[in-house]
Every structure is written in structure tokens, then in C-alpha cells.
Structure 1
């Protein structure tokens, strides 16, 4: 079974493209990502949800709410998640792996 690191490497090299909509990565026409899209990006981060919550200065419950769709993620937190996932700066370019 592939490790998380191997899965992330495949994603970043283009072997595993993102399924998320382009507009969740656009600074000009940003749309709030769905819970599924948030889960997809979280899977790319080599940290536990507790560690991610600490980095973002939020509660782990907030991450659970984002994933379930009970709460919307802010652009600032989405930007940070994408950065932690190694997707590059979403303000200046399309993230790696998008078609």
C-alpha cells in the first residue's frame, strides 16, 4: 500500500490530478470548496488534523465541519491549506496538477 508521501509525490508529479473545480483555486472568481474538495487537499498534507488545526490556529472541530459541509472555509484558511499541501500559491497561478 502506498504511503501518504508516495501519494502526494504522485499528485505533485501529475500522476494523480486533482478532481476539485478550478474556481476553488482562482483568486478572481473564488468559490467556496466543497467538503469533498477540502478532504482531497487535506489528504495531501503530511500532518494530522490536530497539527493542521494548530498551524491555522483553529479547533479540530472546525476542520470536521468543513469536511462535512456544516461550515464554509474562509479564503485565508483555504489558501493556507493549499500552501501546506504543496499546491503552490493560489493567488498567482493555477495549482500544480490541474488539467
Structure 2
């Protein structure tokens, strides 16, 4: 098995979830190839309820979209790194900027805001 990629995996697919772009079916297939997984092995690795590999085939065909958590674990298995890791300050800023957090924080003075 060659380590040379058959399909280039876009950088935006190898990002923490808040920056992530969903991979194409070809990118999912490439990560499986790099990891040395068949559909069944991947289904077992991800502890999917259907161990037949059917869900994996749906991700590759584009019939359904791969969830971030499954993608991140497959990337880890393919030695593409811990793509979920995010800087603490970036996460704090994301939370401050998120509409749901802004609604919850209205009128509240937090320690994080006081330090900024």
C-alpha cells in the first residue's frame, strides 16, 4: 500500500469542528485507504451499530454526510493528527461570538470579559 495520496485531502477538512468543511466522498475513501480500513473495519473502529460497512459506503457515495466526530477519528487512525484540537483563546472567542452565548450572557459580567 502506497503512502502517496491518491486524492488530496483539503486543509479545510482537517480543522477543528468550528472551522471544518465536510469532506467529499473521495476524501472519506482516501482517509480509509490511508488508515488501512475496509468499510467493515471502519464501522467496527467507529463502533457503528451496523458493522456491515453500509454506513461507510453511504458516506463515500455522498448519500449521507459523515459526522465530524467520525471524520476526526478516521483522520486520527490515518495519522493525520488530532484535528479536533483548538486553542483555548480561539474557543473562548467562538463562544463569545456565538449568537446563543450572546443571548445567555446579556447583562452578565464574566471573569473572561473582565480580563479582556
Range class of TM-score, shorter chain? 0.7 to 0.9
Using the TM superposition, give the Cα deviation of residue 18 of structure 1 relative to its aligned residue in structure 2, in angstroms: 6.0
Q: Which of the two has greater helix per residue?
A: 2
What's the offset of the Cα at 1:64?
0.2
Deviates more, 1:34-43 or 1:47-56: 47-56
Q: Measure the CA separation in 2 of the matches of 1:47 and 1:26.
A: 22
- State the alpha-carbon separation in 1 of the partners of residues 14 and 37 from structure 2: 21
In structure 1, which of residues 75, 80, 93 is the aligned counterpart of residue 73 of structure 2?
Answer: 80
Count of matched residue positions in the alignment of Structure 1 and Structure 2: 82
Residues 1-99 of structure 1: matches in 2 within 5 Å? Answer: 4=1, 7-8=2-3, 11=4, 16=5, 19-27=8-16, 28-58=18-48, 59=50, 60-92=53-85
**Relative contact order higher in (CA < 8 Å, ≥ 6 apart):** 1
Structure 2: gaps spanning 5 or more residues: 87-116
Matched with 2:96 is none
Q: For the pair shown, which has the larger CA radius of gyration, 1 or 2? A: 2
CA distance in 1 between partners of 2:40 and 2:81 (Å)? 22
